[in-house]
Chain A
Amino acid sequence: MKRTLIILLRNPLSLLGVLLVLMVIVLAVFADFIAPFPDHKGAVVDFVYFNQAPSDRNLMGTDLVGRDLFSRIIYAYRISLMLGVVVLVISVPIGVLAGLFAGYRGGKTEFVLMRLTDVFLSIPPLVLAIAMMGVLEPTLLNAMLAVTAMWWPWYARLVYNVARSEREEGYVLAAEVIGASQWHICFREILPNCLPAVITKMTLDMGFVIIIASSLSFLGLGVQPPTPDLGSMVAEGARYLPDSWWLTVFPGLAILVAVFGFNLIGDALREILGAEQ
């Protein structure tokens, strides 16, 4: 753990990733203190300053109803991060459990769980999410549900593959020989060996979840106004390109920075944890 951290911070690229992610997290957590116009996260109208280019007063300009873009981006980060965390916290355990049981038990369990996974995987993720959002109401909660529904199968498949190869390892046989229960073998022997792969994928996925959530709200299916969201901000501003460029460029950059940061860490983790195995 300590070793992983040291390697992570020594490599300039992954250090950049760590810094970017830290910055995003700090912005999101302390949004109330950092944002110059905290009340602009809601439905505020200020036509004196509407559609202003970046200036001293508004670091990233203002939107069409005069709200400070910088403040709104900070609050949008809060939503994006929360969405990413909630989606992973729900979908990872489901996927890991399904993959673990399928990989360890084999036979009928494997057939049922993995074919179910295949069904979900066969539908393009965004299409599934759009369909779900079309049926349900477009709210933040439903956006989380939709993204979760398309996320767990990837973990099921990942853990299934790792568990499948780990169960043939000598230490699993050794555990059987000393009379360990199936529960023990599953959770205490095999699962810890799957975790490096899962943790790596989770870091990479934080970025992807943010992109998918932004895509959904870009299409008008995710978070609804006036709640700030990076995707809907880009969608709104796109109509006024190239004149009011700040409306699109800054939210877009904000997405880029967050996703880039998580991906850099994820890539570094993949190399570190992969080399350890």
Chain B
Amino acid sequence: MTPVLAIENLHLGFKGYTGYTEVLHGISLSINPAERVALVGESGSGKSVTARIILGLLQEVRGATIRGELRFLQHDLNSIGTKHWRDLRGTRMSMIFQDPTSALNPVFTVGVQFIEVLRRGSAPLSEAAALSRASALLQSVSINDPERVLQAYPFQLSGGMNQRVMIAMALANNPALLIADEPGTALDVTVQAQTLDLMNQLVASHNTAMLFISHNLGVVREFADRIYVIYRGRIVEQGPTAAVFNDPGHPYTRALMAAVPRITGGGIADIPDTSDEFLQPCVNHGSAL
């Protein structure tokens, strides 16, 4: 089976005034069709830049140097050129953001923005056809009054509503890969649970592969088939979710798990900022498949 996304030995560095700083030190990961993969790590570990590299957004930044193999479906992303890459975005790969409200343009109604997304995907679509498709998609994310939502401006809707709109938009063109960058971190816990649940169902029904970027281990455990733990630009542990959670092999993974606050109390574990232990080589639990 060819993976949807395969990254091999990805390096990222920035040239600054103080010289060259390497941020990612050779990351490898792969995602199979319809698989939900989580990338877990603390802030600054390189989760979000990885997502941006996959989407081809960081390549345009001056001073960023990127090395490594990137394969998406049958495309070699390093050789397809910006134009082609842009055509893939929004059609074959798409993304959901942390803060859904700011990801929608405040001066246009949801309907107008939805139509734009739909027109990117398929052949020319009349406005009426696009609107009826949009409201069907909104219904599939449990929005009961899609007509009202389509006429509303993003700031008139709640964060949870906007997140559902974003999910519906992201899946509107049936992408092969959906990247979710800490979806719902800006939402409260109950809404977050609802939207995650929704996303889970939709990803399954659309047969979409998913890269789930998070620092929330609880969410990841419920949600992902496979986990990559990233620390300081290196993958330190990878494997099927159950295997990683039952038998965390790497000291950093163990520290990360100890840091999760428990509802039963018991204090928050003390994690050192850095430790030589954390730089041990990657622990590989093998593939789930």
Contacts and interface: CB of A to CB of B under 8 A. Distances in A.
**Do A and B interact?**
yes
Interface of A: 107, 169-171, 173-181, 189, 192-193, 195, 277
A189 B113 CA distance: 10
Nearest to A107: B62
A170 B99 contact: yes
Interface stretch (B14-22, B83-91, B190-198, B203-211): B83-91
Contacts of B103: 170-171, 173-174
A177 B101 CA distance: 16
Interface of B: 55, 57, 62, 86-91, 94-95, 97, 99, 101-108, 117, 120, 166, 169
Contacts of A180: 90
B97 A178 contact: no
A193 B106 contact: yes
Contacts of A193: 105-107
Give the secondary structure class of A's interface: helix
Given A107-B62, A192-B107, A192-B108, A178 B94 contact: yes
Given A179-B86, A180-B90, 19 more contacts: A107-B62, A169-B102, A170-B99, A170-B101, A170-B103, A171-B102, A171-B103, A171-B104, A174-B95, A175-B105, A177-B89, A177-B90, A178-B94, A178-B169, A179-B120, A189-B105, A192-B107, A192-B108, A277-B106
A178 B120 contact: yes
Given A107-B62, A171-B102, A179 B87 contact: yes
Contacts of A177: 55, 57, 89-90, 94-95
A5 B89 CA distance: 40
A193 B166 CA distance: 20
Nearest to B102: A170
Q: List the 8 shortest-distance A-B pairs measured between CB atoms, nearest first.
A: A178-B90, A170-B102, A179-B89, A179-B90, A170-B103, A174-B103, A171-B105, A192-B107
A268 B260 CA distance: 51
A245 B169 CA distance: 69
Contacts of B102: 169-171
A169 B87 CA distance: 22
Nearest to B92: A179
A275 to B, nearest CB: 12
Contacts of B117: 178
Contacts of A192: 105, 107-108
Contact of B57 (A171, A176, A189): A176
A171 B155 CA distance: 13
Contacts of A189: 105
Contacts of A179: 86-91, 120
B85 to A, nearest CB: 8
A174 B102 CA distance: 9
A183 to B, nearest CB: 12
B5 to A, nearest CB: 15
A129 to B, nearest CB: 35
26 contacts: A169-B102, A170-B102, A170-B104, A171-B105, A173-B57, A174-B97, A174-B103, A174-B166, A175-B105, A176-B55, A177-B90, A177-B95, A178-B90, A178-B94, A178-B120, A178-B169, A179-B87, A179-B89, A179-B90, A179-B91, A189-B105, A192-B107, A192-B108, A193-B105, A193-B106, A277-B106
Nearest to B51: A177
Contacts of A175: 105
Contacts of B169: 178
A180 B107 CA distance: 17
A179 B55 CA distance: 9
A171 B101 CA distance: 9
A170 B169 CA distance: 15
Contacts of B91: 179
A98 B95 CA distance: 32
A256 to B, nearest CB: 36
Nearest to A190: B105
B105 to A, nearest CB: 4
Contacts of B88: 179
B82 to A, nearest CB: 10
A249 B207 CA distance: 79
Contacts of A107: 62
